[in-house]
Amino acid sequence: MTPRIALLTRLYDAYNKGDFDAFAAELDPAVDWPDQIGGGRVVGVEAMRAFWAQRDGMVRVEAAPMEFTVLEDGRVSVATNQTVHNLEGRLWSDSCVRHIYTFQGERVSRMDIVERLDEA
């Protein structure tokens, strides 16, 4: 397992446990993240904290990585099974998406979502 894949494994584990501090420890301070709720992008760890709190007040999202691929440019593509439940536990969405991670040093600096697994 490469160091970046190990980092992403920790990131998904923290994400699914709802442990923002462990999640944020893997992020560059100026992280750039997609806002799947309001559209656009969330930039910076503190903005991510606010986004996380907003999301947790609306839905429960779990992301299970299925396959990691190191791309030629150093980014890592992760085929992910993503489920979304409402706060009462009712399933809203169960889909496969691809997350593309960019790194700054030893931390995630950007994440992009590709809806189809064959796109990267």
Q: pLDDT grade, residue 36 (50/70/90)?
A: confident
Sheet harboring 91-104: ordered strands across? 41-43, 27-34, 107-114, 91-104, 76-86, 59-70
Per the structure, how many domains does the chain have? 1
In a domain, 48, yes or no: yes
Residues 9-34 have pLDDT tens digits of 999 999 999 999 999 999 999 999 99
- Which pLDDT score is estimated for 118? 56
pTM equals 0.91
In a domain, 119, yes or no: no
In a domain, 120, yes or no: no
Q: pLDDT grade, residue 116 (50/70/90)?
A: low
Q: What φ, ψ does residue 117 adopt, rounded to 5°?
A: -70, -20
In a domain, 13, yes or no: yes
- Which pLDDT score is estimated for 115? 73
Alpha-carbon gap, residue 77 to 87, rounded angstroms:
29
In a domain, 86, yes or no: yes
In a domain, 45, yes or no: yes
Work out the percent of the chain whose per-residue pLDDT is above 90: 84
Domain containing residue 59: 3-114
Q: pLDDT grade, residue 37 (50/70/90)?
A: confident
Cβ-contact 83, 91 below 8 angstroms: yes
User: Which CATH number goes with the domain that contains 86?
Assistant: 3.10.450.50
